[in-house]
Structure 1
Amino acid sequence: MPEGRSLDRLSDRSQAVGDICAARAGIDCDAVRHPARPSGEPGALQAAFLKLNGQGRATGDADDRRRALTDETADLVAQLPLFARRQDIDPPDAIARIWGRALPKAAYAPPSLPPGVTEGATP
């Protein structure tokens, strides 16, 4: 991944922005708030996608709708690393463990697998 775009850096930046927004709104971002935030994002992403594809009440022009889809995607992607960090989840390891099962061993080398998990095993 290009310099400055790693998952940890994304999570750090998302945390900093989240802290600023929470302070401005007087919100305590506790263990309950973190799962609540990303749970609303898929709906907003779906609405933007439907509008872009003529399936919802369109607002703005095509460029505005495309920008809305891009922005909602960014919101969702930015929230998930924060949730994972708060829950002590390592997304690259989890992805390798789950998705790596479907690939030949040589095609996907996960960073590490939990004890007892065999690469290439079916779920």
Structure 2
Amino acid sequence: MTVELHEIQQEVEAVSRIYAKNCNVRRDDDWYFLKMQEETGELLQAWLRLTGRGRQKGDPEAQIRQQLEDELADCMAQVFLIAERFDIDVEKAIGRKWFKYLPERKHAGNADE
């Protein structure tokens, strides 16, 4: 099943609206970036736990690995939320910033520039 990035972005936004309503969170411009910082901190914490440099809390490795995956998902979701809030085409931005280095995309990636 293929899902377009924009569809994911819209679904993440819908979930975030539910979260904000249920938790009485005001999602102002700063919130998007502060929340991103919070999520990257949680991702780092999971990585430290998985690599034996953080408290294991008696959790099995598989559970810690799942935590790492979940925190990465939170970071990705927050990126989509920032993109939605500030009207950023993530696919276009990645193409412009990253894919220009791929030989088969050299000319296609620069078409919009």
TM score, norm. by length of structure 1: 0.79
Shift of 1:111: 9.1
User: After the TM superposition, which residues 16-27 of structure 1 pair with which residues of structure 2 at under 5 Å, given as runs?
Assistant: 16-27=14-25
Calculate the aligned-residue CA RMSD, in Å: 1.9
User: After the TM superposition, which residues 3-42 of structure 1 pair with which residues of structure 2 at under 5 Å, given as runs?
Assistant: 3=2, 5-42=3-40
Q: For the residues of structure 2 that align with 1:82 and 1:112, how far apart are their CA atoms? A: 27
Structure 2 unmatched ranges of 5 or more: none
Among residues 38, 42, 45, which one is paired with 1:44 in the alignment?
42
Structure 1 unmatched ranges of 5 or more: 118-123
Structure with the bigger percentage of helix = 2
SS of the residue 2:8 aligns to: helix
Q: For the residues of structure 1 that align with 2:110 and 2:90, how far apart are their CA atoms? A: 11
The one-letter code sitting in structure 1 at the alignment partner of 2:82 is F
Report the counterpart of residue 68 of structure 1 in structure 2.
Answer: 67
Runs of 4+ in 1 over 3 A off after TM superposition: 107-112
Q: For the residues of structure 1 that align with 2:102 and 2:43, how far apart are their CA atoms? A: 29
Shift of 1:47: 0.9
Deviations 1:69-89 (A, max 9, x none): 011011111110110121121
User: After the TM superposition, which residues 101-120 of structure 1 pair with which residues of structure 2 at under 5 Å, given as runs?
Assistant: 101-104=100-103, 106-107=104-105, 109-110=108-109, 113=112, 117=113
Shift of 1:112: 5.3
Does structure 1 retain, via aligned residues, the 8 Å contact 2:50–2:61? Answer: yes
Change (3 A) 1:111 1:85: farther
Q: For the residues of structure 2 that align with 1:63 and 1:69, how far apart are their CA atoms? A: 10
Change (3 A) 1:26 1:9: same
Among residues 55, 58, 76, which one is paired with 1:57 in the alignment?
55
